[in-house]
């Protein structure tokens, strides 16, 4: 694959993840668009280059694993799974519906490709740490990736786990921070300030790579650096834009938490994401898709 | 030669030590078994495993929330993590148990020492009187409280063989031996450890021995008391309870736990639904504990054999 094709594939995957996120949150009538859109590029990279296509098995210690610790961004995760063909292209539209695998927060018991039940911040990070420890203990070489939100940094458990991972020199563990600077109610800085965040993680014994979380060249380089870093876990501190890709959501406070999206807003969002107006109804009833990248 | 201080309370006759030794004996048979500790291995019995199988012992430091969620992750790689801590600190990670272990159906065993007033001198902060109620309220959890050293050893094997999340409380203080080498243990099954016709005393943990003493007191008065060891609080042995209710007509529950939501709560939920009968509760009456020797606390908080015998008389009068 040429360099430009490499990027085009990632860009298109991310665009489709965003479309799935918007369409599913619309049909669910609730969900968190801002943090799903900010995470889409990072998920596009992880599900294209780091996470394999196999059905996850617990005792497979060779495969890489991904845990979405910021579980409320699962519309983006389900979107990534749909784009990569792990679930049906119309399945994300069942988000938050009774009996569906698309639970309102990811659940291992509902969907095989979910590695940890999350939705209570901090816990997915520890679960990922446990996976990395367990894999290494049994001689496996699988890597574990875990995505955290910035609001999540306020949970004490995150720092318990950060300290523990550094103590165990868990270089097979890579945390990705979707640092969009906003949490449910307001800017991080107005809730409980997080800075100097990179310094805190370094002080906790982590290797920190600070990047633009929407720049695929930087994302790719960061994960390569994480893989070549030995003796300590790596944090990819990815600066992102909440609501990225939908003009009226980008950095606009209303779209941070769980919302009900109007048909009008949904249509505008999908059009912003490159969907033609005539294709919008098909995205919302599952009859038209622009195809997966498979 | 330095004189190292003696470790307080590491009694060879406590349930926690029986648990720690049982872990060591299971290590070869269960190569996937690993033990997690939050800097209290000396007190939970886990120090035995640390000494014998240091490469399978994971220190998490004083950070129980991370330890419990990480145990869920370790189980997701095929290991059988046994999380060891004090009961109050297990309570601290209750929500982690709920989401990362029970909801995710991870094969994690949480084994907590230092439950109840049996903790003694450390006082109320360490005397966990709420664990049975709290862990019982979580779906998918099995909740166990063995009565003596032999049963603790058998229960340790049983929870490791069982696939699924378990909470088990052991005990801090030296505990009388009740059972012989022929004792058996099965998750979900209670046992009649002394037969009787007038009243059934249903007990768990350290209260089984006191209930047997109470039955002896009652025997001297011509009252025939049956004693049931209900080592599994969840899933509860409903069949045995119904049988005992039908055959003896009244009950007493006895536990080293708050009066709400523990063994007494579980037993009466079952009886109310299937075979209503008079029930008296021996438990801590919705108070916190305090420092003191376990025997002193048992008297002060009305958990002793004489209190159990009194409760039996009251229950019989209500028939």
Chain A contact present for B260, CB below 8 A: no
Residue B274 dihedral angles phi and psi, to the nearest 5°: -110, -50
Q: Has residue A22 got a pLDDT over 90?
A: yes
| Chain A hits for B71, Cβ within 8 Å | 130
ipTM of the complex: 0.96
Is the alpha carbon torsion for B22, B74, A149, A24 positive or negative? negative
Q: Is residue A41 part of a domain?
A: yes
Q: Has residue B11 got a pLDDT over 80?
A: no
Distance, CA of B271 to chain centre: 21
In B27-104, at which residue ranges do the beta strands (DSSP E only) sit? 33-37, 57-59, 80-86
Rounded CA separation A69/A152 (Å):
9
Q: At B35, is the pLDDT very low, low, confident or very high (cuts 50, 70, 90)?
A: very high
> Cβ–Cβ of A116/B96 closer than 8 Å?
no
Facing residue for B77 by CB, picked from A122, A134, A164: A134
Facing residue for A126 by CB, picked from B66, B79, B81: B66
| Chain B hits for A118, Cβ within 8 Å | 99
Q: At B1, is the pLDDT very low, low, confident or very high (cuts 50, 70, 90)?
A: very low
Residues sharing a CB contact under 8 Å with residue B250, sequence separation 6 or more, in sequence order: B198, B199, B200, B277, B278, B279, B280, B315, B316, B318, B319
Q: At B189, is the pLDDT very low, low, confident or very high (cuts 50, 70, 90)?
A: very high
**B291 to each of A188, A275, B112, how far by Cα in Å?**
44, 69, 20
Residue A50 dihedral angles phi and psi, to the nearest 5°: -115, -30
Among B residues 35-94, those touching chain A with beta carbons less than 8 Å apart: 56, 58, 60-61, 63, 65-79, 81
Cite the active site residues of B.
64
Rounded CA separation A213/A282 (Å):
30
Q: Is residue A293 part of a domain?
A: no
Q: Has residue A256 got a pLDDT over 90?
A: no
Q: What pLDDT is recorded for position A255?
A: 81
For the CA atoms of A103, A109, A110, A111, what is the dihedral angle to 10 degrees? Answer: 110
Mutate to test the interface with B, among A67, A106, A134, A140 (most CBs of B within 10 A): A134
Facing residue for A130 by CB, picked from B56, B69, B95: B69
Cβ-contact A115, A56 below 8 angstroms? yes
Facing residue for A127 by CB, picked from B34, B69, B105: B69
Rounded CA separation B141/B147 (Å):
20
Mutate to test the interface with A, among B30, B73, B163 (most CBs of A within 10 A): B73
Q: Starting from the edge strand earliest in sequence, which strands make up the sheet with B199-203, in order?
A: B191-194, B225-229, B199-203, B251-258, B279-284
Residue % of chain B over a pLDDT of 70? 96
Q: At A259, is the pLDDT very low, low, confident or very high (cuts 50, 70, 90)?
A: confident
Q: Which residues of B42-67 are buried (b: 16+ CB within 10 A; e: fewer)?
A: bbbbbbbbbeebeebbbebeebbbbb
Cβ-contact B256, B207 below 8 angstroms? yes
Rounded CA separation B310/B230 (Å):
20
> Cβ–Cβ of B78/A119 closer than 8 Å?
no
Q: Has residue B7 got a pLDDT over 50?
A: no
Q: What pLDDT is recorded for position B3?
A: 54
Q: At A2, is the pLDDT very low, low, confident or very high (cuts 50, 70, 90)?
A: low
Rounded CA separation B16/B113 (Å):
6
Dig out the tokens for A202 from the structure. Answer: 């370094």
Domain boundaries B15-169, CATH class: alpha beta
Q: What pLDDT is recorded for position A15?
A: 97
Chain A residue with minimal CA distance to B99? A117
Q: Kindly tell me the burial class for residue B160, based on how many C-beta atoms sit within 10 Å of its own C-beta (0-12, 13-18, 19 or more).
A: buried
Residues of A contacting chain B (CB within 8 angstroms): 58-59, 61, 67, 107-109, 115-120, 122-135, 137-138, 140, 156-157, 160-161, 163-164, 167
Rounded CA separation B319/B316 (Å):
5
Q: At A105, is the pLDDT very low, low, confident or very high (cuts 50, 70, 90)?
A: very high
> Cβ–Cβ of B76/A137 closer than 8 Å?
no
How many structural domains does chain A have? 1
Q: Is residue A199 part of a domain?
A: yes
Is the alpha carbon torsion for A38, A41, A42, A46 positive or negative? positive
Facing residue for A134 by CB, picked from B73, B99, B104: B73
Rounded CA separation A225/A283 (Å):
37
> Cβ–Cβ of B79/A167 closer than 8 Å?
no
Cα diameter, chain B: 66
Cβ-contact A214, A244 below 8 angstroms? yes
Residue B213 host element (H or E): helix B207-219
Rounded CA separation B200/B221 (Å):
16
Quick count: other Cβ atoms within 10 Å of Cβ B22? 22
> Cβ–Cβ of B70/A126 closer than 8 Å?
yes
Q: Is residue A291 part of a domain?
A: no
| B294: DSSP letter | H
| Chain B hits for A140, Cβ within 8 Å | 77
- In this prediction, residues B216-236 reach a mean pLDDT of 98
CB contacts < 8 A, A to B, total 116
Among B residues 107-126, those touching chain A with beta carbons less than 8 Å apart: none
Angle CA(A125)–CA(A131)–CA(A136) in degrees, nearest 5?
130
Please report, for the domain that includes residue A245, its CATH number.
3.40.50.970
Mutate to test the interface with A, among B76, B83, B107 (most CBs of A within 10 A): B76
Q: Is residue A31 part of a domain?
A: yes
Angle CA(A29)–CA(A33)–CA(A34) in degrees, nearest 5?
150
Q: Is residue A292 part of a domain?
A: no
- In this prediction, residues B311-318 reach a mean pLDDT of 98
Q: Is residue A294 part of a domain?
A: no
The alpha carbons of chain B give a radius of gyration, in whole angstroms, of 19
Q: Has residue A83 got a pLDDT over 90?
A: yes
Domain membership of residue A97 as a residue range = 3-285
In 3D, which of A183, A177, A168 has the Cα closest to residue A200? A177
Q: Has residue B68 got a pLDDT over 50?
A: yes
| Chain A hits for B60, Cβ within 8 Å | 164
CATH fit for domain B191-317, picks 3.30.420.10, 3.40.50.300, 3.30.70.20, 3.40.50.920: 3.40.50.920
Average pLDDT in chain B: 96
> Cβ–Cβ of A130/B65 closer than 8 Å?
no
Q: Is residue A237 part of a domain?
A: yes
More confident residue, A256 or A55: A55
Residues of chain B with CATH 3.40.50.970: 15-169
Q: What pLDDT is recorded for position B2?
A: 46
Residues of chain B with CATH 3.40.50.920: 191-317
Dig out the tokens for A142 from the structure. Answer: 């699988």
Q: At A162, is the pLDDT very low, low, confident or very high (cuts 50, 70, 90)?
A: very high
Q: What pLDDT is recorded for position B129?
A: 98
Q: Has residue B109 got a pLDDT over 90?
A: yes
Facing residue for A127 by CB, picked from B61, B72, B78: B72
């Amino acid at each position: 694959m040429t360099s430009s094709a490499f990027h085009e594939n990632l860009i298109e995957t991310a665009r489709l993840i965003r479309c799935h996120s918007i369409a599913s949150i619309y049909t669910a009538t609730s969900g968190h668009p801002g943090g799903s859109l900010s995470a889409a590029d990072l998920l596009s990279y992880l599900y294209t280059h780091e996470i394999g296509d196999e059905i996850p098995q617990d005792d497979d210690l060779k495969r890489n694993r991904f845990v979405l610790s910021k579980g409320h961004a699962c519309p983006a995760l389900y979107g990534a799974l749909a784009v990569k063909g792990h679930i049906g292209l119309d399945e994300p539209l069942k988000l938050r519906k009774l009996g569906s695998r698309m639970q309102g927060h990811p659940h291992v018991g509902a969907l095989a490709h979910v590695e940890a039940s999350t939705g209570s911040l901090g816990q997915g990070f520890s679960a990922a740490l446990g996976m990395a420890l367990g894999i290494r203990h049994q001689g496996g070489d699988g890597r574990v990736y875990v995505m955290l939100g910035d609001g999540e940094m306020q949970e004490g458990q995150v720092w318990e786990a950060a300290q523990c991972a550094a103590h165990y020199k868990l270089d097979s563990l890579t945390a990705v921070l979707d640092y969009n600077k906003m949490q449910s109610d307001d800017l991080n800085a107005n809730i409980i300030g997080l800075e100097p965040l990179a310094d805190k993680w370094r002080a906790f014994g982590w290797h920190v790579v600070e990047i633009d979380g929407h720049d695929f060249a930087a994302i790719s380089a960061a994960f390569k650096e994480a893989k070549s870093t030995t003796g300590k876990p790596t944090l990819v501190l990815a600066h992102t834009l909440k609501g990225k890709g939908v003009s009226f959501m980008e950095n606009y406070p209303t779209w941070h938490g769980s919302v009900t999206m109007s048909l009008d807003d949904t249509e505008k969002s999908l059009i912003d994401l490159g969907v033609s107006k005539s294709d919008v109804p098909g995205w919302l009833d599952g009859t038209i898709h622009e195809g997966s990248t498979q | 030669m330095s004189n190292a201080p003696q470790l307080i309370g590491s009694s060879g006759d406590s349930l926690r030590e029986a648990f720690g030794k049982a872990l060591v004996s299971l290590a070869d048979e269960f190569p996937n078994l690993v033990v997690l500790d939050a800097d209290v291995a000396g007190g939970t019995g886990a120090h035995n495993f640390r000494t014998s199988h240091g490469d399978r012992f994971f220190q998490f430091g004083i950070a129980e929330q991370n330890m419990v969620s990480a145990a869920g992750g370790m189980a997701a790689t095929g290991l059988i993590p046994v999380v060891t801590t004090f009961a109050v600190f297990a309570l601290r990670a209750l929500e982690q148990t709920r989401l990362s272990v029970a909801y995710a159906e991870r094969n994690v065993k949480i084994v907590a020492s230092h439950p109840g007033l049996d903790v003694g001198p450390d006082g109320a902060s360490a005397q966990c009187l709420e664990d049975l109620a709290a862990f019982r309220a979580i779906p998918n959890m099995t909740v166990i409280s063995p009565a003596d050293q032999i049963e603790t050893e058998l229960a340790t094997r049983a929870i490791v063989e069982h696939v699924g999340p378990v909470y088990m409380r052991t005990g801090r203080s030296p505990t009388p031996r009740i059972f012989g080498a022929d004792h058996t243990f099965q998750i979900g099954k209670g046992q009649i450890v002394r037969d009787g016709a007038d009243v059934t005393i249903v007990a768990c943990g350290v209260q089984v021995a006191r209930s047997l003493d109470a039955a002896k007191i009652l025997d001297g008065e011509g009252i025939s008391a049956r004693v049931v060891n209900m080592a599994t609080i969840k899933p509860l042995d409903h069949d045995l309870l119904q049988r005992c209710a039908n055959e003896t007509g009244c009950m007493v529950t006895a536990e080293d736990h708050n009066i709400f939501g523990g063994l007494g709560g579980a037993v009466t939920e079952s009886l109310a639904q299937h075979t209503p009968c008079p029930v008296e509760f021996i438990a801590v009456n919705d108070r916190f504990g305090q420092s003191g020797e376990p025997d002193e606390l048992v008297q002060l908080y009305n958990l002793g054999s004489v209190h159990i015998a009194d409760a039996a008389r009251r229950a019989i009068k209500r028939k």
